[in-house]
Chain A
């Protein structure tokens, strides 16, 4: 069995930052493995460890060279090998909407022919939350979004999942394989990469491909969405912000809380 896991490096913006055109000035941005993808990688590795058949876990990333640091993190946690797709056309494409990303991952999936695809529910930076289901539809796979429990029955070709709905209610569903599942945080307990894992990750295969390598042309990734602005929202906040040392601010807050009847 083969499991394909999408792995994205996300931008994390500092507390204080400056906007530069349509992006955040590089000085204020660090990068990390998308939280939701971390759980997806862990789930794939756990399935691999529990299976009584050979399971290969392959990660796929649409992203620039910098994302390799993040991809190595996934390899260090147990993924077997990685594929990264990127080229100048993608750089120029600007905003990568879910359809564009799904189109690229679809091309990789067509080559890899996985039985199961795991993606994060959403990415922490652009938060579209739609790449997984778009991918499923394009591949003709079945799917489930926001999965927080997964039980595979390989014999029956079914994934029994829990989908976490709003308000503390879960939906139980049986999904036919092959499927794309978008993984919610909390489904497992992601491991830290061991030193041995980190060392091994260095020698694992990380294939870098261009659009052409995966059979796509620039026309395939023309996005109809154009980002036209980026700004800090005008705060509607009318919060009273206390200033001063911790003792001072705590004192002022304490007065307000007493006024509100707290601990009286």
Chain B
């Protein structure tokens, strides 16, 4: 049996999650006593193949099909490789593209699928840890099956290190073109406003806790008093209250200010992905269980409509 991990790349770059997956694969292979193989599909597979040669990897399979991600091709490639290797575990990234092919792979192979896994353990069988109710709770899931597919959350495991001398082997996939019914036609960068939140030393970041668009004035007042820039979580951008280039997070911007003040933001994983690198994180939130407090350095559990005006007062606003 084997553990198979699937790498991810975009626009010529291997994405960091690919190396994190190798750590998960290695751990699982040690626990199951299996070999760990990884595969990279499309793009500059030779270069990617060399980069995926890390400790614990037995073979890096390269599938030279297409430049960019196409889920119809990925599904066929992973399925065919899995049929050849008969893996006990197929490990894929819980990224936007991962979620675009992993469920289909699991379904085709008849494997149970556990997504967004934050921890794994393999005793008699696979036990996966995932979050429930927006990170307020964690749950363990036992998988009663010989083999399983899982997608793992980016950023939870360290990148695999070392150069190992894994063999890099091409794997020929017999692509059924009639099953390729989606075509990627291009990419587009979003943004286009004139605020650069990635450049700010201090960010006052506002979330859904602000309630109404009118209340945003309060946050801009605080930002002015602190000589800071206003950024936001996604719902405010979805509502059209602020420009897209102020969005912090997985699908927004990654920011690394000296100080990040999260006002009425719960700290969903996709938000945290964009701001966990801030030096000092401050959270103001009425919910003491909000996940934002897990990464905050300083916290106030209180109504922002009481705290923010008091803070503005402090700074003479």
Interface-side segment among B30-38, B133-141, B166-174: B133-141
CB distance from B246 to the nearest CB of A (A): 11
**A residues less than 8 Å from B232 (CB atoms):** none
Residue A137 at the chain B interface, CB threshold 8 Å: yes
Of the 9-residue stretches B81-89, B213-221, B287-295, which lies at the interface with chain A?
B287-295
Alpha-carbon distance between A254 and B317 when the two chains are bound, in angstroms: 13
A186-B234, A232-B289, A239-B297 known; A263 vs B187 contact (CB < 8 Å) = no
Residues on A with beta carbons closer than 8 Å to the beta carbon of B113? 97-99, 130, 134
In this complex, how many residues of chain A approach chain B with their Cβ under 8 Å: the count is 86
Q: How far is the CA of A162 from the CA of B130 in the complex (A)?
A: 29
Name the contact of B96 in the complex, choosing from A136, A146, A241 (C-beta under 8 A): A146
Residues of chain A contacted by B142 (CB below 8 angstroms) = 225-226, 228
Residues on the B chain within 8 Å of A253, using CB = 282, 298, 300, 307, 311, 314
The smallest beta-carbon distance between A166 and chain B, in angstroms, is 5
Given contacts A145-B99, A242-B300, contact A126 B132 (CB under 8 A): yes
Known: A11-B133, A133-B100, A134-B104. A261 touches B294 (CB 8 A): no
* Cβ < 8 Å to B, chain A residues 16-30: 16-17, 19, 22, 24
- When the two chains form the complex, which single residue of B97, B115, B191, B273 contacts A128, counting CB atoms closer than 8 Å? B115
Nearest A residue to B116 by beta-carbon distance? A127
Q: Among the listed stretches B39-47, B53-61, B251-259, which one makes contact with chain A, having 4 or more residues with CB under 8 Å of it?
A: B251-259
Cβ contact within 8 Å between A224 and B143: yes
User: Which one of B107, B140, B235, B290 lies within 8 Å of A228 (CB-CB)?
Assistant: B140
Question: Cβ of A91 < 8 Å from any Cβ of B?
Answer: no
Q: How far is the CA of A212 from the CA of B142 in the complex (A)?
A: 28
The 0/1 profile, CB within 8 Å of A marked 1, for residues 244-282 of chain B is 100100111110001100000000000001000001101
Contact with A along B294-310 (1 / 0, CB 8 A): 11111111110011011
Let me know if A233 and B137 touch, CB within 8 A: yes
The smallest C-beta distance from B293 to any residue of chain A, in angstroms, reads 5
Contacts of A15 in B (CB 8 A): 286-290
Asked if A230 and B187 make an inter-chain contact with CB atoms under 8 angstroms apart, the answer reads no
Which of chain A's residues has its CB closest to B314's CB?
Answer: A254
**In the complex, what residues of A have CB within 8 A of residue B134's CB?**
13, 124-125, 127
Looking at the complex, which one of B106, B140, B141, B190 makes contact with A169 (CB distance below 8 Å)?
B190
CB-CB under 8 A from B199, the residues of chain A are none
Q: Can you list, as one digit per residue, whether each of A239-255 has a CB less than 8 Å from chain B (1) or not (0)? A: 11110001101110110
Complex formed: what's the CA distance from A232 to B132 in Å?
A: 10
CA distance A131 to B303 in the complex (A): 37
The answer, yes or no, to whether A66 is at the interface (CB within 8 Å) is no
Q: Quick check: is B283 within 8 A (CB to CB) of the other chain?
A: yes
Which B residues touch A80, using CB under 8 A?
Answer: none
Q: Is the CB of A176 within 8 A of B182?
A: yes
**Chain B 147-190: CB-based contact to A (< 8 A → 1; otherwise 0):** 01001000000000000000000000000000001111111111
Within 8 A of B (CB), among A68-106: 95, 97-99, 102
Contact A133 B99 (CB under 8 A): yes
Q: A125-B133, A240-B299 are in contact. Are A167 and B254 (CB under 8 A)?
A: yes
Contact status B295-A237, CB under 8 Å: yes
Measured between C-beta atoms, what is the minimum distance from B240 to chain A in Å? Answer: 7
Residues of B within 8 A of A262 (CB): 202, 226-228, 258-259
Chosen A-B contacts, 13 in total, with CB atoms closer than 8 Å, are A16-B289, A134-B113, A167-B251, A168-B247, A172-B187, A229-B139, A233-B135, A241-B300, A249-B310, A253-B282, A253-B298, A253-B314, A256-B282
16 further A-B pairs in the complex, CB-CB below 8 A; given A237-B293, A262-B259:
A11-B133, A13-B136, A99-B107, A130-B102, A143-B71, A145-B71, A168-B190, A169-B190, A174-B182, A174-B183, A182-B99, A186-B238, A226-B143, A240-B299, A256-B280, A260-B280
